[in-house]
Amino acid sequence: MTSLHKFQTEIDEIHNREVLKQRTAGHAALERDKAKDTKTVKRHATEKAVGKRISEHATPDRDKKVPNENVEKTPVESVPTGTEDAMDADEELRRNEEEIQSLLLSGMEEDHNRARDMIASILTSRRGEHLFRVGARPQHLKLFSGEAITVEDTGGVQRTVEELDTLHEKITEIVEEVGGKTTVLFEDRITAPRITLLLRLPPPSVALTPEVRCAVVGNVDSGKSTTLGVLTRGALDDGRGRARVSLFRHKHEVESGRTSSVGMEILGFGPSGAPILPPTSHSNDPDVIRREKMSWEDISVQASKIISFIDLAGHERYLKTTLYGLTSGSPSCVILIVGGNAGLIGMSKEHLAIALALSVPVVVCITKIDMTPANVLAETIKQVTRILKSPGCRKTPVFVKSMETAVEVSQVFAKERLCPVIQLSNVTGEGLDYLRTFLNLLPSSEGDTEKFIADQPLEYCVTEVWSVPYVGTVVDGILNAGHVKAGDSILIGPDSNGNFTPTSIKTIQRKRASVNSAQAGQCVSFALKRMRRAAVRKGMVIVHKTDAGPPRAVRQFEGQVLILYHNTTLQRNYQAMLHCGAIRQTVRIIGMDHPQGVLRTGDRATVTFEFISHPEYIKEGMKLLFREGKTKGLGVITRIL
């Protein structure tokens, strides 16, 4: 029997090793293309110059140097070797902040100018957003435990209240000079004087607006759609489901009150950190709330950061839809909604297990605290704590009961195996400010350079397909690598025979607003030129045309798998639904290295799979999940056959 923790560590090592190989190969391919393009441009320039001289009967001057292709070479960038150690980066940033404070307090003009340059440099390097902490710095261990903070529990440079006010004023002035906004997130002027400021620059265009993708999961009737309705529409719920009605997409959802499809909602935050809500957010009329909602285009134009919520189904009947949303949406975090009156039951445990298997950070929101008796709520909190601390989860719960905790835990929870727990009431509004602040400060999804990197060949996964009147076939998906512009020639595939079809991108939209380009990590839509809707399906990929030809589609592959649960045994010819990124297709087991030829719960083996319907584009190192009913397996692709 192999423990889940040990297996996850091993498949993460395999994944990281294969990704590094692929990135090195992709970087080399880009450099070859770049060198080829440079030589072509030089040759054309030389031919043009020679032709001009011949036409003018000119003789080259002896003193002029003739260009030599062998002398001037295209500089080759170093292959990315991974991100800098996080602790060293945080320590360097802390020292820079303290130096800026000292410079601003000196009162000298040259020091002020140097501090301004340092703040501008920090904002540029951190994608236009930074949390600037002035004064004492509480220890995270003490802060997250919920205990009262004293001066002895803090580090950093101690400041007086007068110094806090001076630094706040001068930092605000500098940020406004460069076109940004400064917002006070937290302030303590008594115990250990400190202040946390949000410095934010508005993005130059919609194409560069930071986005955070969050998958919202939980059991039926836990309050997922109600919570999203309150967050995105602004109006509180009436206790009878008024807030959720505007989110439903189908008639049967309105009638049953249950989400059955993958819905997408967005919440925008302005430069000051305030949520962008419709003007009717304080209305009590449900018809007005449902009708008068802001369009995605209006939100995108005003927003300095966008939170995209993937609203997933909670009913067991729609588990495959929920799984597809978790694997194809590349969420930065999973928000697990737990009803305070019911606890962590049913599909909530299933969703938590899937998030842990995919190594996605988890945030727990306990809802309905206004209607839950105190003893029942205490029991729910005790249960959530016990499950999070269990050997299967190995997460430390952090109960967010102050704004400072919400600010600090948003920056570190993904790296330190912490799980923020926020208690909410969508009727009274209790806890909503903590949740909004937490979401507002989450690092952007495209900023995750371990997942997405621009310095690679284009790779775009198709997650949705539509046929739009007067536009044609439109695909939606995520740019896993590279960058793309409107008008680029591309290949899309594989089709049922494993072939890739050449086409081009007519237009690009991001959150329904037109953009000219897109980069790695972004979720965008493409209108494809001369492509039939029937020829495109979910799970296809889009790549650039290259001399190396289209990528290879495969039917068979090997993977290291761990059987999480099965009530009997798995043998050859066993069929299951495979989820791997945006791919969702039935596979058959055609071989395994287990000595008995059968697999049971807890067994680990190298298994050979075969796609039933059509070949797919997969890569070594990709994580996979497969299920059939309650049967579940976790693994990683180790070899393409």
Report which of 415, 416, 449, 443 is spatially closest to residue 81, judged by C-alpha positions: 449
Question: Within this chain, do residues 149 and 259 fall inside the same structural domain, yes or no?
Answer: no
Do 243 and 150 share a structural domain? no
Q: Are 478 and 522 within 8 A, CB to CB?
A: yes
User: Taking the CA atoms of the chain, what radius of gyration do you get in angstroms?
Assistant: 27
Both 134 and 186 in one domain: the answer is: yes
Q: For residue 378, what pLDDT is reported?
A: 95
Tally of structural domains, the chain:
4
Distances (CA, A) of 441 to 129, 381, 451, 584, 585: 9, 25, 20, 33, 36
Whether residue 269 is found in the same domain as residue 177: no
pLDDT at residue 48, as a whole number: 58
Q: Is residue 194 part of a domain?
A: yes
First to last CA, the chain: 28
Tokens of 528: 């494809």
Cα–Cα distance between 423 and 408 in angstroms, integer? 17
Residue 453 in domain: no
Residue 140 lies in a domain: yes
Strands 263-269 and 513-515: unpaired
Rounded-to-integer distance, Cα 127 and Cα 481, Å: 18
**How many of the other CB atoms lie within 10 Å of CB of 150?**
12
DSSP-assigned states of every residue in 104-133: HHH--HHHHHHHHHHHHHHHHHTTTEEEEE
Residue (of 463, 458, 493, 456) closest to 478 by Cα position? 463
* 217: CATH: 3.40.50.300
Q: Is residue 447 in a domain? A: no
Which has the closest alpha carbon to 354: 329, 330, 326? 326
From 80, 74, 75, 71, select the one nearest 37 (Cα to Cα): 74
- Same domain flag for 527 and 569: no
Examine the domain organization and report whether 16 and 97 are in the same domain: no
Beta strands in 205-325 (DSSP E): 211-218, 263-269, 275-276, 305-311
- Tell me the residue range of the domain where 560 lies: 1-58+552-641
Judge if 223 and 178 occupy the same domain. Answer: no
- Report the alpha-carbon distance of residue 316 to residue 324 in Å, rounded: 14
The residue out of 408, 440, 472 marking a domain boundary is 440
* Cβ atoms 285, 246 nearer than 8 A: no
Domain boundary among 162, 178, 200: 200
The answer on 286 and 257 residing in a single domain is: yes
| pLDDT number for residue 292 | 61
Burial class of residue 342 (count of CB atoms within 10 Å of its CB; 0-12, 13-18, 19+): buried
What pLDDT is recorded for position 119? 93
Cα torsion through 431, 437, 443, 444, rounded to 10: 100
- Is the domain of 277 the same as that of 382? yes
Closest C-alpha to 429, from 244, 226, 217: 226
> Where among 392, 412, 440 does a domain terminate?
440
- List 309's β-bridge partners, or say none: 214, 265
pLDDT, position 608: 95
Q: Which residues of 548-569 are buried (b: 16+ CB within 10 A; e: fewer)?
A: eebbebbebbbbbbbbbebeee
pLDDT confidence of residue 319: 76
- 31: in domain: yes
Q: Which residue has the tokens 């004492």?
A: 136
Instruction: Please answer whether residues 315 and 527 qualify as being in contact, where contact means their C-beta atoms are separated by less than 8 angstroms.
Output: no
What confidence score (pLDDT) does residue 87 get? 64
The enclosing domain of 35 has a CATH number of 2.40.30.10
In a shared domain, residues 257 and 394? yes
**Same structural domain, 187 and 211:** no
Same domain flag for 512 and 484? yes
The CB density around residue 60, as the number of other CB atoms within 10 Å, is: 10
Question: Is residue 539, in this structure, part of any structural domain at all?
Answer: yes
Q: Is residue 72 in a domain?
A: no
Quote the CA–CA distance of 380 and 339 in Å, as a whole number. Answer: 9
Eight-state DSSP code of residue 511: T
Average pLDDT per run of 10 along the chain, which is 641 residues long? 74 88 83 68 56 46 40 37 58 89 90 92 90 88 82 81 93 92 92 92 90 90 86 78 57 46 80 86 62 79 91 72 83 93 85 87 94 94 93 90 93 90 93 94 88 89 93 94 93 93 94 91 94 93 87 94 86 91 93 88 92 94 85 89 88
State residue 26's pLDDT score: 82
Dist. CA 12–CA 428, nearest whole Å: 42
What's the pLDDT score for residue 65? Answer: 40
